[in-house]
Amino acid sequence: MLCLISLGLSDEKDISLKGLEVAKSCDFLFAEFYTTKLLTNKERLEKLVGKEIKILSRKYLEENFQEILDLAKNKKVGLLVGGDALIATTHSALIIEARKQGIETEIIHNASIISAVGETGLHIYKFGPCLTIPFPEKTKGKLPESVYEILKENKKRGLHTLCLLDVEEERIMKVNEALEILLKIEEEKKEGVISLKDEIIVFAKVGSKKPLIAYGRMEEIIKRNFEETPATIIFPGKLHFTEKEFLEFFRIEKT
Amino acid sequence: MLCLISLGLSDEKDISLKGLEVAKSCDFLFAEFYTTKLLTNKERLEKLVGKEIKILSRKYLEENFQEILDLAKNKKVGLLVGGDALIATTHSALIIEARKQGIETEIIHNASIISAVGETGLHIYKFGPCLTIPFPEKTKGKLPESVYEILKENKKRGLHTLCLLDVEEERIMKVNEALEILLKIEEEKKEGVISLKDEIIVFAKVGSKKPLIAYGRMEEIIKRNFEETPATIIFPGKLHFTEKEFLEFFRIEKT
């Protein structure tokens, strides 16, 4: 049996009672931290679960995919993942393959940035598709034009856009890095989708004791140079007055 | 202090360790089950937390809003809510008002259908805005045309649409009830957005031991008359081949 056990947004205490129970019942426990970064580590998770946990790198998981599935044929295997399982397509690939091979699967859900973004006061049913801003080397120096297209379409419909920032093993994209990429695309496309005058939201360290929500013009956000990670950037669409009222609590120009 | 403590998707064991810790530390505990239905109850939650919990009806919460805020001025007040807090606009309203009155707030996130829908194999970044199909009496017999517009726009962009089904105190909408409403709007609008030949997904009892995922033509889904609740209906947009492959595991026409 293969269990995907979601860890939620911040530290080891975000695991659910159910998730912890399933983790304790597994014969083998793995974790991957390359699709999401958490404010916890192997040692703290091991202490909580009372079991050894093997951390899988992207490379290891890709190359040893079948090894893990083989193990799950006769044993209960758990994979701990940040956020909510199956948001990353890596997890879907693992689950499809398990099902093809007749291996039973179980999914334990947990909090994800996709819904936690409600904490900014924006209405969840007004979000268009979300996007990820990739590290430039992943797109071979080419600017990620699809990101621009999604932003443009969402804006046209008055919808909010949640931008996730890329994560790689030990690296995590910062707010200003992401904004620089977006401004470069605008410079090239010149369709007026992204502007320094846009009012945007930075939502970082979600689920921690001190989440950061900052609202203000992009030029102001850049000046503040927020270093907090993991971070997301939200481009609001047409705002309802209750959304506006909520966001004003986080306006940086006042502070 | 006012703490919104999210309970996740299914039963009391979906609470996080952090959520349970915060709940135990509250002086007063309330819960509302009218925005989301869970497979648990007051007694099981009280046993888990070791504290008395007062269940608030919509009417009570609306009429005694200020009473709860007044309590939170000097005491630690927790409100247990299904799914992830702040998805329901009721919660945002409470939080805005608390902040206006200088009351400290804390949000404990948890799993939500908004991200759990990844369990169907559909890619999360291909979802357009979600919608709720309201009980007919809420729209005074008028068909909810905005629902139709959202579906139409999402379809045009090739995006998936997650349809939540309405919940009212003791009542929860069933799949066939929702589909009947949608087909009635199509009958009136005649724009070919909704058809009995559409392949759709029913995703119900999410987070329970036995979640239901059923994929097939709407006419087939209607014939099966799924009674499982809480349920959602998903209209897939343009499918990636990995999404197709995943969904085929749930095709009802084969079974």
Domain spans of chain B, in order of start: 2-111, 114-250
Residues of chain B neighbouring A44 (CB-CB closer than 8 A) = none
Alpha-carbon distance values, B202 to B117, B199, B214 (Å): 10, 10, 5
Whether A206 and B15 lie within 8 Å, measured CB to CB: no
According to the model, what pLDDT value does residue B54 have?
A: 95
Q: Give the three-state DSSP class for A131.
A: strand
- The CATH architecture one would assign to domain A2-111 is 3-Layer(aba) Sandwich (3.40)
According to the model, what pLDDT value does residue A36 have?
A: 84
Would the pLDDT of B110 be above 60?
yes
Q: Specify the DSSP class assigned to residue A160.
A: B
Residue B19, min C-alpha distance to chain A (Å): 8
Selecting from A6, A13, A89 the residue whose C-beta is nearest the C-beta of B123 gives A89
CB neighbours of residue A241 within 10 Å: 7
Q: Specify the DSSP class assigned to residue A40.
A: -
Residues of chain B neighbouring A131 (CB-CB closer than 8 A) = 125
Question: Do B159 and B126 touch, CB atoms closer than 8 A?
Answer: yes
According to the model, what pLDDT value does residue A141 have?
A: 75
Q: Distance between CA atoms of A231 and A247, rounded to whole angstroms? A: 17
Whether B109 and A8 lie within 8 Å, measured CB to CB: yes
Residue B145 CB partners (closer than 8 Å, separation 6+): B185, B189
Question: Do B149 and B182 touch, CB atoms closer than 8 A?
Answer: no
According to the model, what pLDDT value does residue A35 have?
A: 85
Whether B17 and A21 lie within 8 Å, measured CB to CB: no
Q: Does the predicted model carry a pTM greater than 0.90?
A: yes
Residue A141 CB partners (closer than 8 Å, separation 6+): none
Burial B4-24 (b: 16+ CB within 10 A, else e): bbbbbbbbbbbbbbbbbebbe
Whether B111 and A114 lie within 8 Å, measured CB to CB: no
The pairing of beta strand A199-204 with beta strand A231-235: antiparallel
Confidence of residue A11 (pLDDT cuts 50, 70, 90): very high
User: What's chain A's average pLDDT?
Assistant: 94
CATH tag, B114-250: 3.30.950.10
Whether A84 and B111 lie within 8 Å, measured CB to CB: yes
According to the model, what pLDDT value does residue A89 have?
A: 85
Largest Cα–Cα separation, chain B? 60
Selecting from B96, B130, B157 the residue whose C-beta is nearest the C-beta of A125 gives B130
Whether B13 and A6 lie within 8 Å, measured CB to CB: no
Residue A196, min C-alpha distance to chain B (Å): 25
Mean pLDDT computed over A65-76: 95
Would the pLDDT of B255 be above 70?
no
Mean pLDDT computed over A140-152: 89
Written as six digits, the tokens of B5 are 């403590």
**Backbone phi and psi for residue A32, each to the nearest 5 degrees, phi listed first:** -125, 135
Confidence of residue B206 (pLDDT cuts 50, 70, 90): very high
Residue B103, min C-alpha distance to chain A (Å): 13
Q: Distance between CA atoms of B214 and B201, rounded to whole angstroms? A: 6
Tell me how many degrees the CA angle A80-A81-A87 measures, rounded to the nearest 5.
145
Q: Distance between CA atoms of B95 and A119, rounded to whole angstroms? A: 9
The gap from C-alpha A231 to its chain's centroid, in whole angstroms, comes to 9
